[in-house]
Amino acid sequence: MIHFKNRLFGYPLMALILLGFLFLSAQWSDHALYIGVIQIEHQEDTALSTMDIKVFSDDLQNALKNEFDWKQLPKVSVACDAHTNAIEQYFQNHLTISINKEPISITLQDCTNNTEVYILSYTLSTPKKWETLTLKADFLMELFPTQTNVLQVQYQSAKSKTMQPFFGKMVKRQYQLEFEIGAMTQGK
């Protein structure tokens, strides 16, 4: 388990770098970069949090074909509408979240696709105050040994007017992260 106690980069810089890699490498059909981005946002005054997952379209298509033994790849243009249940099940199998040591269920709320990238949106029912956040994300790693899933958490404590960023990355040999949110946001 990795414990992050310091911020790695400022939010705008990290987001720009990640999105740049995500969209630039999408120009090639057999891209050399295998990356997924998980973005979670939470404000302590609410028990609802948001989570977006961004993955390359062709990677998710291959993962769905592999996971469900489909004979052919689903079409990118209809996957969000025609395969919502399969997409939701795939991520429930390959992404787990615990807050304050309690598991959090994830239910897909929206799926969009711009032919290059799927954006999967979730609303999470969570405790208002987070002490710890544990996330395991091994999605796409069963197909791509170099897959990296990057996590970005924006957390706003009740005492702060600004979001506290937390970052981490998961790879096949280390696909779990744990953040001690409470210790990092006290006094803010």
Tell me the C-alpha distance between 41 and 46, whole Å.
11
182: pLDDT strictly greater than 80? no
**Mean pLDDT to the nearest integer, 141-170:** 91
Confidence bin at 32 (pLDDT 50/70/90) = confident
For the stretch 120-148, what's the b/e string if a residue is b when 16 or more beta carbons lie within 10 angstroms of its beta carbon? bebebebeebbebbbbbbbbbbeebeebb
Model pTM score: 0.81
Look at residues 171, 106, 100 and name the one whose alpha carbon lies nearest to residue 129. 100
Provide the token pair at 140: 């796409």
Q: Which domain holds residue 82?
A: 3-185
Tell me the C-alpha distance between 164 and 15, whole Å.
14
Q: What is the pLDDT of residues 122-143, one digit of tens each?
A: 999 999 999 999 999 999 999 9
Tell me the C-alpha distance between 126 and 75, whole Å.
34
Q: What is the pLDDT of residues 35-53, one digit of tens each?
A: 999 999 999 988 889 999 9
Tell me the C-alpha distance between 168 and 118, whole Å.
21
Q: Structural domain tally of the chain?
A: 1
